[in-house]
């Protein structure tokens, strides 16, 4: 574990190959019901990351801004969060409380996510759990306010990260992916699942 921000906990190689493939099968079923879309940022630009979600809430963005919604942009409810994914949350957090959102991000070779904070949830007391699948992604962690020193870490397929405490409110993003670094996804790219308590 290289990053030293309090509350940031990396479980490197948490999922073995068979477990990664099982989660992937479950994610594909989610994507079949709730296809990926590219959110439009409030400035009008399309995000490079493709997104969808499972659970009671998904995260959407349009001319009205960013928000959680009970509906996919096509107007349908989100599929349920796969049991394999809920099991990961339970194992790494030990919480009885279950997440209401499993955001699914897909990074193609050129995709990235700028530094931002996750603060659309009603309470910041709950951790966020992230599961990486496929190509490696260069994760960057900043501070509670914009600016200052940042720390970078390559997230690999099967890594699970828990952000709680101070880390929960820190700026973070994905600078780039390393295309072709994993054989998990036949078409390449990186999938990231983030589990959150929303209400």
Which residues define the annotated binding site for 2-oxoglutarate? 105-107, 190-196
Helix axes 83-93, 17-33, angle to 10 degrees: 130
For ligand MD3 (CB under 6 A), the number of binding residues is 16
Rounded CA gap, 75 and 190, in Å? 26
3-state secondary structure 149-183: CCEEEEECCCCEEEECHHHHHCCEEEEEEECCCCC
Residue 4: alpha-carbon gap to chain centroid:
20
- Helix, strand or coil, per DSSP, at residue 79: coil
161 contributes a contact to ligand MD3 by CB under 6 A: yes
User: Cβ closer to Fe ion: 65 or 180?
Assistant: 65
53 contributes a contact to ligand MD3 by CB under 6 A: no
The closest residue (CB) to ligand MD3 is 192
Cβ within 8 Å of residue 165, ≥6 positions away:
6, 7
User: Cβ closer to ligand MD3: 84 or 118?
Assistant: 118
Rounded CA gap, 58 and 131, in Å? 17
172 contributes a contact to ligand MD3 by CB under 6 A: yes
Kindly identify the residues of this chain, within the stretch 117-156, that bind ligand MD3 according to CB under 6 A: 118, 128, 130, 137
Stretch that binds ligand MD3, among 28-36, 83-91, 142-150, 160-168 (CB under 6 A): 160-168
Rounded CA gap, 19 and 166, in Å? 30
User: Cβ closer to Fe ion: 80 or 118?
Assistant: 118
Rounded CA gap, 37 and 113, in Å? 15
DSSP type of residue 67: E
Kindly identify the residues of this chain, within the stretch 80-109, that bind ligand MD3 according to CB under 6 A: 103, 105
182 contributes a contact to ligand MD3 by CB under 6 A: no
Stretch that binds Fe ion, among 27-35, 50-58, 110-118, 148-156 (CB under 5 A): 110-118
- Which segments are annotated as binding site for substrate? 59, 66-68, 120, 146
Q: Which residues bind Fe ion (CB under 5 A)?
A: 118
């Amino acid at each position: 574990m290289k990053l030293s921000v309090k509350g940031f906990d990396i479980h490197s190689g948490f999922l073995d190959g068979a477990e990664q493939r099982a989660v992937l099968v479950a994610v594909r079923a989610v994507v079949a019901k709730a296809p990926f879309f590219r959110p439009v940022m409030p400035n009008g630009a399309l995000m490079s990351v493709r997104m969808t979600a499972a659970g009671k809430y998904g995260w959407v963005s349009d001319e009205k801004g960013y928000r959680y919604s009970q509906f996919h942009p096509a107007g349908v409810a989100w599929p349920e969060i796969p049991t394999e994914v809920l099991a990961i949350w339970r194992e790494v957090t030990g919480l009885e409380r279950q997440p209401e959102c499993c955001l699914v991000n897909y990074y193609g070779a050129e995709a990235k996510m700028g530094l931002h904070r996750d603060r659309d949830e009603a309470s910041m007391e709950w951790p966020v759990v992230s599961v990486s699948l496929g190509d490696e992604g260069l994760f960057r962690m900043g501070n509670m306010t914009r600016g200052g020193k940042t720390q970078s870490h390559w997230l690999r397929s099967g890594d699970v990260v828990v952000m709680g405490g101070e880390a929960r409110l820190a700026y973070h993003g994905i600078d780039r992916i390393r295309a072709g670094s994993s054989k998990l996804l036949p078409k390449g790219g990186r999938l990231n699942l983030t589990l959150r308590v929303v209400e």
